[in-house]
């Protein structure tokens, strides 16, 4: 067997391995979803501080604040703190107007400048944390419109489980019909983000904070020293520290928020590059925990992230290169028939399992979405490969050049 055949077998096996793990997680998540129930509302509700980090979010910020003010949580039991972080648009003026309109409600706006702020989401959250009065911290991104019961459901789940350090909800794509890309993201969100969260919770008692629509105990985040200002994926980084402090994170899909997703490739590319860099930072920061008892709680997630960002990425690169070389006639592959059969089975498994997962949402089980899922396997996976490889290269270069982290602004739409 030639070297190229050996590399192809290894890459196909690795891709299949990751795919099977995802399928297992998704089906476990589906079962977990069917068993979901809402925790009873505690007799004494804690005071909650809702933090909203915002940088040049004038297009969406008012809609977000209005949805937060509309929570069915008692009005005297929560405050909203918007960290308008070194914005150069009209955010400050818009926020001042909504403050004046809602004078009886506790809505605080912290306007930072380039000296104090403008250093990323983690820094903005730390600024808000210092002003927070609640024993529970809730975090919402500036493009979110949570449903009215979301906060109450999250807090109730936290209250009944004293070992839960945080509780996360589900997020949906608000602009899913805007473009083909947002339709890809909608399927990705339903299947490979929140339903796999449910699967990891069911099988390993593991969840990862998604960065929005979650609550965390204030005393816990203060003991951590706040959010890591060097972490672009501050949500994953905080999640790992929660588990290392002998707490766990619960997932409650009945708490729903709707968020705006990138509508064009360039916006999506920059957002996902930030995610890749952020997750690589978390992997490297915690890599040593793979081999010590302290890291037992997060071991699966570390291995999973390593598999996604290194094993899967390089396996897809090898697979693509061998395919191109074979088609162009530069190399001869003896196992073409075998590898093609594996690819066919992989596509079928991907399509069937993904389509089953979207049946959890009303109106998503359509023929159009079935076609979208098939197209995702061919197109979206290659898009991910490009951004994953680029993100790794950029991360390495920034480490070499000692470039500092700042706000990575995702474009918003009306």
Q: Is residue 250 part of a domain?
A: yes
Q: Which residue has the higher pLDDT, 361 or 8?
A: 361
Owner of token pair 């965390």: 216
Least confident of 45-54, 120-129, 205-214, 353-362: 353-362
Residue 350 lies in a domain: no
pTM over 0.75: yes
Residue 355 has pLDDT above 70, yes or no: yes
**Cβ(136)–Cβ(215) below 8 Å:** yes
112 in a domain, yes or no? yes
336: pLDDT strictly greater than 70? no
The per-residue pLDDT for 161 is: 93
> Is 2 among the domain residues?
no
What's the pLDDT score for residue 327? Answer: 66
Distance of alpha carbon 109 from alpha carbon 99, whole angstroms: 8
Give the H/E segment covering residue 49: strand 48-54
| pLDDT in the model for residue 325 | 72
Give the structural domain span for 105. 38-179+207-262
Domain membership of residue 329 (yes or no) is no
Specify if 121 maps to a domain: yes
64 touches 53 (CB < 8 A): no
In a domain, 47, yes or no: yes
What mean pLDDT do residues 142-160 have?
96
How many domains is the chain partitioned into structurally?
1
Mean pLDDT value of segment 256-268 = 94
Residue 243, C-beta contacts closer than 8 angstroms, at least 6 positions apart = 206, 249, 297, 298
Q: Is residue 308 one of the residues assigned to a domain?
A: no
Instruction: Label residue 334 by pLDDT band (50, 70, 90).
Output: low
**Statement: residue 105 has pLDDT above 90:** no
367-375 helix and 336-358 helix, angle to the nearest 10 degrees: 140
Strands in 136-139's sheet, in edge-to-edge order, are 107-112, 78-85, 48-54, 136-139, 214-217, 164-173, 248-259, 144-146
396-414 confidence digits (pLDDT tens): 998 888 776 555 667 777 7
* Per-residue confidence (pLDDT) for residue 65, from 0 to 100: 96
Query: What does the buried/exposed string (b/e) look like for 350-386 if buried means 16 or more CB atoms within 10 Å of the residue's CB?
Result: bbebbbbbbebeeebeeeebeebbeebbeebeebbbe
d(CA 155, CA 157): 5
- Measured CA to CA, the distance from residue 114 to residue 331 in angstroms comes to 55
Place of tokens 């944390």: 129
CATH number, position 139: 3.90.550.10
Q: Give yes or no for residue 351 having a pLDDT over 60.
A: yes
Residues contacting 222, CB < 8 A, separation 6+ = 129
């Amino acid at each position: 067997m030639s070297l190229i055949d050996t590399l192809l077998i290894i890459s196909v096996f690795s891709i299949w391995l990751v795919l099977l793990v995802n399928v297992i997680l998704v089906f476990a998540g589906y079962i977990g979803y069917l068993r979901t129930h809402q925790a009873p509302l505690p007799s004494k509700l804690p005071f909650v501080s809702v933090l909203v980090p915002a940088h040049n979010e004038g297009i969406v910020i008012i809609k977000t604040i209005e949805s937060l003010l509309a929570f069915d949580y008692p009005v005297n039991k929560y405050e909203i703190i918007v960290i308008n972080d070194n914005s150069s648009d009209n955010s400050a003026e818009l926020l001042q107007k909504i403050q004046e309109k809602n004078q009886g409600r506790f809505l605080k706006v912290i306007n930072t400048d380039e000296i104090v702020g403008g250093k990323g989401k983690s820094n903005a959250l730390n600024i808000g944390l210092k002003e927070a009065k609640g024993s529970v911290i809730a975090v919402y991104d500036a493009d979110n419109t949570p449903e009215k019961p979301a906060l109450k459901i999250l807090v109730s789940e936290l209250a009944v489980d004293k070992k839960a350090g945080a509780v996360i909800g589900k997020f949906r794509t608000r602009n899913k019909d805007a473009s083909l890309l947002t339709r890809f993201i909608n399927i990705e969100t339903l299947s490979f983000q929140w339903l796999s969260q449910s699967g990891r919770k069911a099988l390993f008692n593991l969840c990862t904070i998604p960065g929005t629509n979650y609550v965390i105990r204030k005393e816990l985040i203060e003991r951590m020293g706040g959010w890591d200002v060097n972490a672009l994926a501050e949500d994953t980084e905080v999640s790992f520290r929660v588990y290392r402090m002998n707490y766990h994170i619960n997932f409650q899909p009945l708490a729903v928020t709707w968020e705006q997703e990138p509508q064009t490739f360039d916006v999506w590319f920059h957002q996902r590059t930030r995610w890749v860099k952020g997750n690589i930072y978390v992997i490297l920061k915690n890599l040593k925990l793979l081999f010590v008892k302290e890291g037992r709680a997060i071991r699966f997630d570390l291995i999973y992230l390593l598999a996604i960002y290194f094993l899967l990425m390089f396996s897809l690169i090898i697979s693509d290169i061998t395919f191109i070389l074979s088609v162009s006639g530069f190399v001869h592959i003896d196992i073409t028939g075998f590898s093609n059969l594996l690819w066919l089975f992989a596509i079928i498994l991907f399509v069937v399992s993904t389509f089953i997962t979207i049946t959890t949402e009303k109106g998503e089980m359509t023929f159009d979405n079935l076609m979208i899922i098939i197209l995702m396997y061919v197109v979206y996976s290659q898009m991910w490969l490009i951004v994953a490889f680029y993100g790794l290269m950029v991360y390495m270069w920034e480490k070499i050049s000692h470039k500092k982290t700042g706000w990575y602004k995702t474009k918003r739409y009306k």
